[in-house]
């Protein structure tokens, strides 16, 4: 979200009292550079200081707010190394509470004065104690409480107290300066509070109702602005000229195939061909389940480009996937004598020079590659089609960088993540959408089972038999390294699991893949698996988007209830690429309840779009990309997992406003905000 609309909110943070160079550097680590930035740094949660708990009723291990009278000034004890420990006690008429503070030599608590203390109570030696509680002067009201205290995302050296103090200053400084960017009719329609009230209540609410009121206003404004930006981008791209390709009958391409395309593939190709021959630049998302045949659609579009004397460029997120695409597109292009080339970081210099010369001379061809395609020395003046595979791995900035190399080139972005239509229209508001909603005939079913922990030894026996029969195995774990002080977390760790297999399945060749490996290391491990030099690949979800491994027949997902259904479905799609029967085992510890029912849903359901709908109902849209993966916008306050209804209302309102006023001339402040959001979207890579 951009800064709040303020007449004087762009002041630097140094304008606030107490913000010197050191404090300013700390705030900048949080991305805060101005007073407006600070006000848009919203609380992540709240502590309820309005409910005062008598000391005698404090529970061991529970967080609570206490109003107490300081018995004596804190006593400071110096420890070796210069650290210090401060101790004091407070009373409230019902009992005594011992307080301990670490490394706070400047703590000032006046004896005989009342304060509020918020922290977790620990019973120690028969006494109630709190360590490092938060402190605030006691209020003068009937309850003497402190309301709801905000909790912010912090950085080293910055405390909650310091950030609250600065935020209060920022609110006081901007009092009366908030401007209303939303149309008055919209504010009235949705009964939204004024922006100044919203910012005041979101930071320092007196009650949960205040939080709801503020969030309603701020979330709607953020999503409404985002939807306007996306829809204006789409409208602008709909007017951009595109390379005009010669019309051709797609049956000519289909006739070269050794199989019949599905109805969905034919429909998608026709939609793309209509765009490619229209003279208007295509900006289309091709969305399909794993194995739905997106590559065939892209190859048909590349054929049309080359048939028209142009070039087609295919960009993939990894070199291994780029090589796979090169092999696939070569097979599709062979009947038409269309050349295909591969350009990656490892491409030899001589070969690279040869490819760049062919690009410059405009020789019709299909060029597959990685990020190497967007390097400065790669010129694509004759490219009529850009295909971006697994587009959410790149982000808007990299898509734009590729498009800038051929300003009239058409864009086809591909994604194997099925998303319900409602969410697709919002996340990809700047793209037209083609959907492959059926699988090619003959694609075998992957048998899926939810397996309880007590059946693990049986599973290991099955895995050994699969390897002996020529199969290969994926095992996916949620974490890389386990937490030393948490045995459950330790069991989830991929690295720990890989070591345990040496004992459980001796003699089998095991590899390890995770996100902390360098790109070259990932490529090496995956190449070894593809070349059957490994029997088992233990991995985190980095293999969710990967290459075809025909020998892989088993997918095991550890702690499967940790994942969303859509993510599990993506993982399942890594197997079943060859002719052998394939299996997916979802390991769990749940004997009953919603978690187990979710896994059973996946065992029954094969349609990725139906699974995505179920995921949307059960856990919200955040799960389509894991906990925080590529593809979801980074909102300041909105949460797609819980604010979908607001998102739909914001989208409808944005469409209605743009129909009345496409240029937003009636809302100059809103237009400025939308342009800022658009610029930030294009400037930030989601990769």
Domain ranges of the chain: 50-146, 250-436, 447-605
Q: How far apart are CA 56 and CA 631, in angstroms?
A: 51
DSSP state of 167: H
Kindly report the average pLDDT of the chain as a whole number.
85
CB atoms within 10 A of CB 646: 20
Least trusted range by pLDDT, from 95-109, 240-254, 410-424, 444-458: 410-424
Q: Which residues make Cβ contacts (< 8 Å) with residue 41, sequence separation at least 6?
A: 30, 32, 152, 153, 163, 167
Q: How far apart are CA 215 and CA 45, in angstroms?
A: 12
Asked, colleague to colleague, whether 250-436 and 447-605 share their fold, the answer is yes
Q: For residue 630, name the pLDDT band (cuts at 50, 70, 90).
A: very low
Span 616-639, mean pLDDT? Answer: 56
State the residue for tokens 């994926």.
474
**Taking Cα atoms as reference points, which of 510, 489, 483, 488 lies closest to residue 499?**
510
CATH for the stretch 50-146: 2.40.50.140
Task: Indicate if the pLDDT at residue 623 is higher than 50.
Answer: no
DSSP string, 172-227: HHTTT-B---S-HHHHHHTTPPPHHHHHHHHHS-SSHHHHHHHHHHHHHHHHHHHH
Q: Are strands 84-91 and 63-70 parallel, antiparallel or unpaired?
A: antiparallel
Task: Indicate if the pLDDT at residue 592 is higher than 50.
Answer: yes
- Per residue in 222-237, pLDDT (tens digit) is 999 988 988 887 777 6
Angle at which helices 208-237 and 644-660 pack, to 10 degrees?
Answer: 50
DSSP string, 627-672: SS-TTS---SS--TTT-HHHHHHHHHHHHHHHHH-TT-TT-HHHHH
Query: How far does CA 258 lie from the centroid of its chain?
Result: 39
Q: What is the pLDDT of residue 189?
A: 96
Q: Which residues make Cβ contacts (< 8 Å) with residue 123, sequence separation at least 6?
A: 60, 129
**CB-based contact 369:314 (threshold 8 Å):** yes
**Rounded to two decimals, what is the model's pTM?**
0.68
Angle at which helices 396-404 and 668-683 pack, to 10 degrees?
Answer: 80
Q: How far apart are CA 586 and CA 655, in angstroms?
A: 42
Using alpha carbons only, give the angle 200, 203, 209 rounded to the nearest 5 degrees: 80
Which option is the CATH number for 447-605: 3.40.50.300, 3.30.70.20, 3.40.50.970, 3.40.50.2300? Answer: 3.40.50.300
CB atoms within 10 A of CB 568: 28
Task: Indicate if the pLDDT at residue 460 is higher than 90.
Answer: yes
What separation in angstroms does the CA of 404 have from each of 379, 381, 386? 10, 10, 11
Report the topology of domain 250-436: Rossmann fold (3.40.50)
Q: Are strands 383-388 and 410-415 parallel, antiparallel or unpaired?
A: parallel
What is the total residue count of the chain?
A: 687
Q: What are phi and psi of 101, to 5 degrees?
A: -125, 135
Structure tokens at 304: 């049309």
Q: For residue 629, name the pLDDT band (cuts at 50, 70, 90).
A: very low
Q: What is the pLDDT of residue 132?
A: 92
Helix ranges (DSSP H) in 91-136: none
Give me the percent of the chain exceeding a pLDDT of 90.
53
Least trusted range by pLDDT, from 110-124, 248-262, 577-591: 577-591
Q: Which residues make Cβ contacts (< 8 Å) with residue 222, sequence separation at least 6?
A: 1, 635, 636, 637, 638
Task: Indicate if the pLDDT at residue 141 is higher than 70.
Answer: no
Q: Which residues make Cβ contacts (< 8 Å) with residue 458, sequence separation at least 6?
A: none
Q: Which residues make Cβ contacts (< 8 Å) with residue 597, sequence separation at least 6?
A: none
Q: How far apart are CA 375 and CA 366, in angstroms?
A: 18
CB-based contacts of 343-352 (< 8 A; 24+ apart in sequence): 343/367, 343/368, 343/369, 343/370, 343/372, 343/373, 343/378, 344/319, 344/369, 344/370, 344/372, 345/319, 345/370, 345/371, 345/372, 346/319, 347/372
Q: For residue 476, name the pLDDT band (cuts at 50, 70, 90).
A: very high
Q: How far apart are CA 431 and CA 106, in angstroms?
A: 57
- Point out which residues pair with 456 in neighbouring strands: none
Q: How far apart are CA 101 and CA 106, in angstroms?
A: 11
Task: Label residue 259 exposed, middle or buried (CB < 10 Å: 0-12, 13-18, 19+).
Answer: exposed
Q: What is the pLDDT of residue 636?
A: 84
Q: What is the pLDDT of residue 32?
A: 93
Q: How far apart are CA 536 and CA 530, in angstroms?
A: 11
């Amino acid at each position: 979200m951009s800064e709040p609309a303020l007449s004087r909110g762009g002041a630097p943070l140094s304008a606030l009292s107490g913000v010197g160079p050191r404090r300013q550097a700390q705030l900048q680590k949080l991305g805060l550079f101005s007073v407006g930035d600070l006000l848009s740094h919203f609380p992540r949660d709240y502590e309820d200081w309005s409910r005062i708990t008598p000391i005698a009723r404090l529970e061991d291990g529970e967080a609570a707010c206490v109003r107490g009278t300081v018995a004596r000034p804190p006593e400071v004890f110096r420890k070796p190394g210069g650290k210090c420990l401060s101790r004091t006690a407070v009373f409230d008429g019902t009992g005594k509470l011992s307080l301990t503070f670490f490394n706070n030599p400047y703590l000032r608590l006046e004896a005989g004065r009342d304060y509020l203390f918020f922290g977790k109570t620990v019973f120690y030696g028969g006494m109630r104690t709190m360590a490092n509680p938060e402190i605030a002067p006691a209020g003068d009201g009937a309850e003497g409480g402190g309301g709801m205290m905000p909790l912010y995302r912090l950085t080293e050296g910055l405390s909650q107290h310091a950030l609250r103090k600065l935020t209060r200053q920022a609110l006081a400084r901007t009092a009366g300066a908030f401007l209303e960017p939303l149309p008055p009719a919209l504010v009235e329609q949705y009964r939204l509070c004024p922006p100044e009230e919203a910012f005041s209540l979101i930071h320092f609410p007196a009650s949960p109702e205040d939080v709801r009121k503020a969030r309603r206003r701020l979330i709607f404004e953020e999503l409404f602005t985002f939807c306007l930006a996306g829809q204006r981008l789409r409208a602008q791209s709909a007017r951009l000229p595109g390379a005009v390709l010669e019309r051709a009958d797609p049956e000519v391409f289909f006739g070269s195939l050794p199989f019949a395309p599905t109805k969905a593939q034919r429909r998608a190709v026709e939609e793309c061909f209509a765009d490619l021959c229209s003279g208007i630049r295509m900006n289309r998302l091709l969305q399909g389940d794993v194995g739905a045949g997106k590559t065939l659609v892209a190859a048909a579009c590349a054929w049309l480009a080359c048939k028209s004397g142009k070039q087609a460029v295919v960009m993939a997120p990894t070199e291994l996937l780029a090589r796979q695409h090169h092999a696939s597109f070569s097979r599709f292009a062979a009947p038409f004598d269309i050349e295909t080339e591969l350009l990656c970081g490892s491409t030899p210099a001589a070969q690279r020079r040869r490819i760049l010369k062919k690009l410059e001379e405009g020789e019709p061809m299909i060029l597959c590659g990685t990020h190497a395609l967007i390097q400065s020395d790669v010129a694509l003046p004759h490219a009529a089609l850009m295909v971006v595979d697994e587009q959410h791995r790149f982000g808007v900035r990299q898509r734009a960088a590729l498009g800038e190399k051929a300003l009239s080139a058409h864009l086809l972005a591909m994604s194997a993540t099925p998303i319900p239509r409602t969410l697709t229209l919002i996340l990809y508001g700047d793209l037209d959408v083609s959907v492959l909603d059926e699988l090619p005939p003959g694609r075998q079913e992957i048998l899926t089972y939810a397996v309880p922990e007590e059946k693990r030894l049986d599973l290991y026996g099955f895995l050994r038999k699969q390897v002996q029969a020529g199969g290969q195995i994926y095992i996916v774990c949620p974490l890389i390294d386990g937490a030393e002080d948490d045995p459950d977390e330790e069991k989830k760790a991929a690295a720990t699991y890989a070591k345990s297999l040496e004992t459980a399945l001796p003699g089998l060749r095991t590899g390890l893949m995770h996100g902390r490996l360098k790109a070259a290391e990932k490529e090496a491990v995956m190449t070894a698996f593809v070349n059957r030099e490994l029997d088992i690949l233990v991995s985190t979800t980095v293999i969710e988007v990967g290459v075809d491994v025909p020998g892989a027949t088993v997918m095991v997902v550890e702690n499967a209830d940790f994942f969303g259904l859509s993510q599990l479905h993506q993982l399942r799609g890594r197997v079943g690429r060859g002719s052998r029967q394939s299996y997916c085992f979802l390991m769990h510890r749940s004997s009953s309840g919603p978690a187990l029912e979710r896994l059973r849903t996946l065992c029954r359901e094969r349609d990725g779009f139906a699974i995505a709908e179920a995921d949307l109902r059960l856990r919200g849209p955040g799960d389509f990309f894991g906990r925080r993966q590529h593809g979801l916008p980074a909102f300041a306050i909105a949460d797609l997992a819980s604010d979908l209804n607001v998102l739909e209302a914001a989208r409808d309102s944005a469409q209605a406003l743009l129909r009345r006023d496409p240029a937003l001339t009636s809302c100059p402040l809103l237009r400025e905000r939308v342009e800022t959001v658009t610029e930030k979207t294009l400037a930030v890579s989601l990769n």
